[in-house]
Amino acid sequence: MPATRPFVLLLSSNHRRRYAEDVLSALALPRGALIQFRYEADYVVPSLQQMIADRSVVGRRCLLGFVADVESPSEPPSEPPSESLSESPSEPPSQSPSQMPFVVPVRFASVVGAVCVADLFLFRLRVEEYANVEELPLTEAGIRAEGRRFVDKLAEANGHRYYPATARFPDLHLHEGGGDDPQLWLGVARRLAKHPTFRSSYFVRIEEPTLTGDRKVRFDASGRLTLSDRMSVKMRVSFYCDRYSETTKRLVCATDGTYLKTSSDDSCDVALSYDAVEFWLQPAMLGFDALTRVTVRLEESKGAPSPAGDSLTTRAGFPVIVRRSRSRLLTRVAASSAGAFLVALPAVVGLDFPLPARVLSAVAGAALLAFATIVVPRAA
């Protein structure tokens, strides 16, 4: 069944390194996690600015994408070349393939929040399924040809001006196709890799964390994962590179090490162009609730040379709430209370009570106290 057509289009470019890394992060995050996109006011169409002001954009479905080789709204349009006798005035000026816009849809998301701070617009987005780009060409020339048509229609829909953040854009029908997440993710990654920005980059995909028995742990409305100290969580991470690089890379799963620890290796060497790794996470046993964070990075190893065009770092993370186990706390209190009562019972009943019964009561009470103070805190 076709999904809802996206209402908002948010494009990220390669004008800054951070913008390109935002695309890698959006591609890597597990479904349900949050990401933030930022735009100056000149890059947001006025009608979308009004929707942000009256909060009607919250909850809307949007499409995240990558765009390159397009003039920004603040730049003046390039001067058309002078006409010559060999060119017909009615024909548009020719454009080399490497100069044509490069556009790749990446992922769908829903708008959790959007605010204006001074002249900046901040979008908080919950990532959803990947875009189905099966109909998009796999060659750079084909992607640029489609990108040119899309950008022309996009500008036409917005008063003949290009906006990377808009609610008026041509329908690409990407929401109508199905497919599983790994295949859709790989299709997007292969097309992004055709642009020089990502040609040597590694793409990462973090699957939804699972508990024992492959039961998925869902993110809450704030994009946070909630765990208790009885939960051992598995997190599978896949990576892909279109071109194998001799540069040593490392895939790292970082936590604070206090409230949430990795109970597996926290890093691995990346020696292949495509593989998957599983990380295990174990919450600490706390007497209070704590907020921490998990971050997955794919970066160059320390001391490794950094070849030109291979400097992007894939970084994706999400907050985790570690809650103390209420059932564990109740068990500990009950065992401690029963143990203290049994230890004190011989003194209460006095010497008239049989000696073997008094000894047995004291031993049982000591065992319960040991269970409450040693066994319960250390139990998995």
* Section 82-106 average pLDDT: 59
Q: At 367, is the pLDDT very low, low, confident or very high (cuts 50, 70, 90)?
A: confident
Strands 267-270 and 249-254: antiparallel
Most confident of 174-183, 260-269, 353-362: 260-269
Report pTM.
0.80
Q: At 80, is the pLDDT very low, low, confident or very high (cuts 50, 70, 90)?
A: very low
Q: To 5 degrees, how large is the angle CA 216–CA 219–CA 223? A: 155
pLDDT at 307 over 80: no
Q: At 273, is the pLDDT very low, low, confident or very high (cuts 50, 70, 90)?
A: confident
pLDDT recorded at residue 88: 38
pLDDT recorded at residue 197: 93
Q: At 231, is the pLDDT very low, low, confident or very high (cuts 50, 70, 90)?
A: confident
Question: Can you name the residues that pair with 44 across neighbouring β-strands?
Answer: 165
Non-local (6+) Cβ contacts of 234 within 8 A are 209, 210, 211, 278, 279, 280, 281
pLDDT at 380 over 90: no
State both tokens at 343.
């230890």
Average pLDDT value for the chain = 84
pLDDT at 149 over 50: yes
pLDDT recorded at residue 212: 77
- Burial of residue 23, with CB atoms counted within 10 A of its CB: 0-12 exposed, 13-18 middle, 19 or more buried: buried
Query: For residues 364 and 83, which has the higher predicted lDDT (pLDDT)?
Result: 364
> Helices 181-192 & 17-28, crossing angle to 10 degrees?
160
pLDDT at 150 over 60: yes
* Section 320-324 average pLDDT: 87
CB 253 within 8 A of CB 262: yes
Most confident of 206-215, 239-248, 282-291, 296-305: 206-215
pLDDT recorded at residue 84: 35
Residue 54 is inside which H or E element, if any? none
Question: What's the chain's Rg over C-alpha atoms?
Answer: 28
Residue-wise pLDDT for 15-35, tens only, equals 989 999 999 999 999 999 999
